[in-house]
Amino acid sequence: MSKKLNEGEIKSEIFGRDAKSKEKTKLEEMYKAVVEKANDGICIIQDGMIVYANPKVLEMGGYKKNEIVGKPFADFIFSEEKEEILKKYKRRMRGGKVEEIYEMIFVRKDGSKVCAQITVTLIDYRGKPAELVIIRDITEKKEIKEKYGAMIDALEDYAIFMLDEKGNVISWNKGAERIKGYKAHEVLGKHFSIFYTEEDRKEGKPEKELRMAVKKGKIEVEGWRVRKDGSRFWADVVITTLKDRKLRGFVKVTQDLTERKKMEEALREERNLFISGPVVVFKWKAGEKKIPVEYVSPNIKNVFGYKPQEFTKGKIRYEDIVHPEDLERIVKEIQYYRKKQIPYFEQEYRIIDAKGNERWVHDFTIVRKNGEGKITHYHGYIVDITEKKMAEEKLRKSNRMFKVLYKCNEVLVFAKSKKGLMDKVCRVIAEEGGYPLVWIGVVEKNKEVHPAAVVGKAKEYVKKLKITLDNGKYGNCPTWTAIETGNPSVVRDMEENAERTPWKKKATKYGLKSSIAIPLIANGKVVGALNIYSEERDAFQREEITFLSQLAHDLAYGIVFLETREREKKMERKLEKERAQILSIFEGIDEPIYVADPETYKILYVNNALKKFFGKNITGKKCYEVFQGLDKPCDFCTNDKIFGENFEKTYVWEFENKKVGRWYRCFDRGITWPDGRKVRLEIAMDITDRVHAEQKWREALEQERQFKLDTAHYFFNPIAIAKGYLQLALEEKGEEEDKIRKAIKAIERVENVVKNVTQKGEIRE
């Protein structure tokens, strides 16, 4: 949140009643400028109505000023929360609270929701009670918390929780509950200083650490912390600042190191006594180029598997059992201690026991001198610290892996492109994890694996790689195996039979000794692999593989998310271009075309033909008012014909516009507007001339029909009379009967001709 306006200043300077008029005006202008440029939304509510809203409020909601100011504040609250929020307001007014902070959900103009933290302060505005509401958008923070909350909760060995900018607890994982003893509801909203000792709180240590975190970005400290039951534990604490342009809060990670602390104290005590468990004692004679072993304690056989006489009889020299990679270092250290005349010294290094296993030892050597001050012997007390070293290494790897995972997830949150995400993740893994080479391979259409991101001092190795998924010469490798099986593929020693496989042989030239390839699986499909190399043999153990697999899962999610977002942006640009082209076509059509919102009936777009007919300033007005001159929606509105199940189907109809006295044939269709709304598109073709022509044609047909009826009547009456008399004559059956029948036949022929002429327009019998 940007710097909060001082309540007293707002009351006395902006809204006060005691300041002089001129001074008040200047102060109002000054503070208004501050409010207008604030990074948080600021509005004033009076009697439930919004009387002022700064530009940030409009930006957050997607509204115009006239769509907010003068409207009830409750209209913009998410419907499911509205009743509860209004109850809070009523309680506030009755209780006369000066300030209150809480969260609510607002509805944007496009229907989407924004989660906000609001601060409500009672003020006096222009002589009347009002509420100053400061709105902070915390939607992104909520999404991050929801997205990574489950993953953080699953890490029970670490207390991971978030603090707001003041140091109050706003999230709590299962690890925090286990380590500190508090349930979430017991600690949320409380200041994190409750975890510190009374002495630290008096010295202001909690606040001092937050200030250091803000200054440096991140700090790591160790010290005593207090559980809910009052017991103390030794903690390793990492506090990371969350900020973009301003401070958003802190992430605090706490690990219980009480056991390690006890171990270190025990070892320190044991070192003071020169022994730690089973101690092997060596005695070397000084003054010779190759220092011979004069004495070895018998317990060396139980500890390291050697016999004492193997050293005392010269079969084995002590330097023979020192690990070759440590020998040069410890010799230089001994020379330094000897030169400085140091009476005793300590060293840690590796030796090889009788079975060929590496063992870490702590060597406490005492320098023995004669009465003349000349060095005669060295007494070495050798303690096996392999288990301690393994525990420390495991802890170091766990801490390192957690930092890698944490920082990579930070990259995931703020990544803007797929390429940038992969580059930064590789860099974090290489730098924080201490790996000489990290790269991400993606599967191309030709089934080749393309290095999409490469980081590390051995990156030249990747340039020479060729990996395909055809299981041929370049297919049988860890990357191929991980992609094909969907499981991590580990190479524990590349030097073993390296000459048999081209990629192994190349790797050893760059000092790479072990590797892991982890599949990147998104939506059930393997899209690539995360490849990590180490300069140590057998570097990737079960716990580290678990961490890296989780990281690969998050990375695959991020890649798919960014690919989807890039496709959506590309589609949006394409649709916008197509929309511009369509609107350009519409502008060149002489027939009226417009787009209207079916909910508000407001006109969103009109082409030039309509602008010429109704004027240029009709956008934003009601379609039934402009086109029909009505004060309510048209009875013949086609919204019900083109939305619902008929959306994107064309409905064709004709009507007469009474306002302009013209007939139109309309083509209506429901379409999606660029802002996501479903709107009505109508193209109207003027058919007035056609309608008039059809009307004249129908009138001509009617006249023709009447003429035929009149003609038939004129002919049929005399014919009927003639037929009647002939029938009477025929009944008398005189000698003229045959002639009468012929006359009747002739009359019937004439009758048929008249019928065809008047009814069918044909001259035939």
Q: What is the mean pLDDT of residues 649-668?
A: 88
Task: Give the three-state DSSP class for 180.
Answer: helix
- Give 193's pLDDT tier (boundaries 50, 70, 90): very high
Residue 7 has a pLDDT of 47
Residue 662 has a pLDDT of 85
Residue 762 has a pLDDT of 63
606 half-sphere exposure, CB direction, 13 A CA radius = 21
Q: What percent of the chain has pLDDT over 90?
A: 17
Phi, psi of 439 (to 5 degrees): -150, 155
Task: Give the three-state DSSP class for 655.
Answer: strand
The least confident of 107-116, 144-153, 186-195, 505-514 is: 144-153
Burial class, 435, CB count within 10 angstroms (exposed 0-12 / middle 13-18 / buried 19+): buried
What whole-number distance in Å separates Cα of residue 358 and Cα of residue 33?
71
How many Cβ atoms are within 10 Å of 469's Cβ, its own excluded? 17
- Give 522's pLDDT tier (boundaries 50, 70, 90): confident
Q: What percent of the chain has pLDDT over 70?
A: 79
Query: Which structure tokens are listed for 525?
Result: 């499909």
Considering the chain, what is the average pLDDT of its residues?
Answer: 79
Per-residue pLDDT tens over the stretch 398-431: 777 777 777 887 887 788 888 888 888 888 888 8
Is the CB of residue 50 less than 8 Å from the CB of residue 57?
no
Q: Which residues pair with 666 in a beta bridge?
A: 653, 684
Q: What is the mean pLDDT of residues 700-704?
A: 76
Task: Assess whether pLDDT exceeds 80 at residue 507.
Answer: no
Strands (E), 444-556: 449-455, 489-491, 514-522, 525-534
Is the CB of residue 645 less than 8 Å from the CB of residue 666?
no
Per-residue pLDDT tens over the stretch 301-323: 888 889 888 988 888 888 889 99
The better pLDDT of the pair 263, 251 is held by 251
Is the CB of residue 35 less than 8 Å from the CB of residue 29?
no
The least confident of 10-19, 138-147, 158-167, 376-385 is: 10-19
Residue 17 has a pLDDT of 45
- Give 502's pLDDT tier (boundaries 50, 70, 90): low
Strands 437-443 and 525-534: antiparallel
Per-residue pLDDT tens over the stretch 54-98: 888 888 888 888 888 888 888 887 655 556 666 665 555 554 555
Residue 280 has a pLDDT of 87
Q: Which residues pair with 686 in a beta bridge?
A: 664
Task: Assess whether pLDDT exceeds 90 at residue 373.
Answer: no
Per-residue pLDDT tens over the stretch 564-586: 888 878 887 877 776 777 777 77
What whole-number distance in Å separates Cα of residue 223 and Cα of residue 221?
7
Q: Which residues pair with 224 in a beta bridge?
A: 234
Per-residue pLDDT tens over the stretch 611-633: 887 877 888 899 998 888 898 99
CA-nearest of 488, 486, 557 to 523 is: 557
Query: Which structure tokens are listed for 545?
Result: 């593989």
Residue type, 301: K
pTM of the prediction?
Answer: 0.40
What whole-number distance in Å separates Cα of residue 111 and Cα of residue 69?
19
What whole-number distance in Å separates Cα of residue 476 and Cα of residue 491?
12
Task: Assess whether pLDDT exceeds 90 at residue 4.
Answer: no
Q: Please, what is the angle between helix 542-588 and helix 386-414, to 10°? A: 10
Q: Per-residue DSSP letters for 222-261? A: EEEEE-TTS-EEEEEEEEEEEESSSEEEEEEEEEE-HHHH
CA-nearest of 475, 496, 490, 468 to 534 is: 490
Is the CB of residue 330 less than 8 Å from the CB of residue 349?
yes
Q: Per-residue DSSP letters for 572-599? A: HHHHHHHHHHHHHHHHH-SS-EEEE-TT
What whole-number distance in Å separates Cα of residue 374 and Cα of residue 739?
176
What whole-number distance in Å separates Cα of residue 663 and Cα of residue 687?
5
The residues, ordered by sequence, that sit 6+ positions from 731 with a Cβ below 8 Å of its Cβ are none
Per-residue pLDDT tens over the stretch 96-148: 555 666 677 888 888 888 888 888 888 877 778 888 888 888 777 666 555 54
For CA atoms 413, 414, 418, 420, the dihedral sign is negative
The better pLDDT of the pair 9, 361 is held by 361
- Give 194's pLDDT tier (boundaries 50, 70, 90): very high
